[in-house]
Amino acid sequence: MADETIDYDGLARLMESRASSYRLFARLFLKPLSEGDVAVLAGADYVAYAQELGRESPLFRGFNDMGRGLRRRHTGTKSVLASDYSMCFDGLASADGKVAVPYASVFRSGKGLLYGPPRAEALAAFRAQGVGLKEGIDLPEDHLSFELEFLGYLAQKTAEALRQHDGQGARRLVTDAQAFLGDQVLSWSDALFDVARRLLATRFYQGVVEATQAYLSLDEQVLADVAETLSEEGACNPGCLSDCA
């Protein structure tokens, strides 16, 4: 029985960790941080987390900068971070005529315009999974935050499938995540981050950009490895063992 060699629980934990990471990054790009957000992020001690990862990790620099950017927070920290976010991600500042508003259409259309084909593609992907934006949100679906949140959703659904030893379902979700990450996120995120680095003034948000870019690159390989594991081992649903043995 081929699927006995798959560590379903281990893969599920990996997917749950991915879901948590994507939820974090999605929140960081959605809007300026509240006082509560700043307190929670400071309490997470990302400097210690970076040290655990080690200096050789592609994630070290980003998380280290995020943590150190909050270590000396004061009563004005929220305002400083909010200003940095708005100047960069709300498009109030530009570098050589380029803005860092986090919408796929702006970077993939070649015209810097909102509501282009990437927005329709993101919307179609969301609807295919039966999800949509929350009531009251009036922003295009190709905002980076929504796309990252969607990857977190797929990761959580994959974890649920793996907990049930539904290898086929998990494999389909991983395939969907690979396609979305490659086509809808990696196809433009590097260009966004390049502009953002030139605009951001705080160490914290420079770290956010660095950590997110590194994570997305690493996750592409993680998904490829998981997809290979589920394919090579003939992952199957309970009840189909005779077909998969």
* Alpha-carbon span 109 to 122, nearest angstrom: 14
Percent of the chain residues past pLDDT 90, beyond the cut? 85
Burial label for 89, CB within 10 Å (0-12, 13-18, 19+), is buried
Q: Give the range with max mean pLDDT: 3-17, 104-118, 160-174.
A: 160-174
pLDDT at position 245 is 27
Q: Would the CA dihedral through 32, 36, 42, 46 be positive or negative?
A: negative
pLDDT at position 176 is 98
Q: Structure pTM?
A: 0.92
Q: How many CB atoms lie within 10 A of CB 178?
A: 17
CATH topology of domain 2-244: TorD-like (1.10.3480)
How far apart are the two ends of the chain, measured CA to CA in Å?
4
Confidence of residue 159 (pLDDT cuts 50, 70, 90): very high
Phi, psi of 98 (to 5 degrees): -105, 140
Q: How many CB atoms lie within 10 A of CB 133?
A: 15
- How high is the mean pLDDT of the chain? 93
R_g (Cα) of the chain, nearest Å: 19
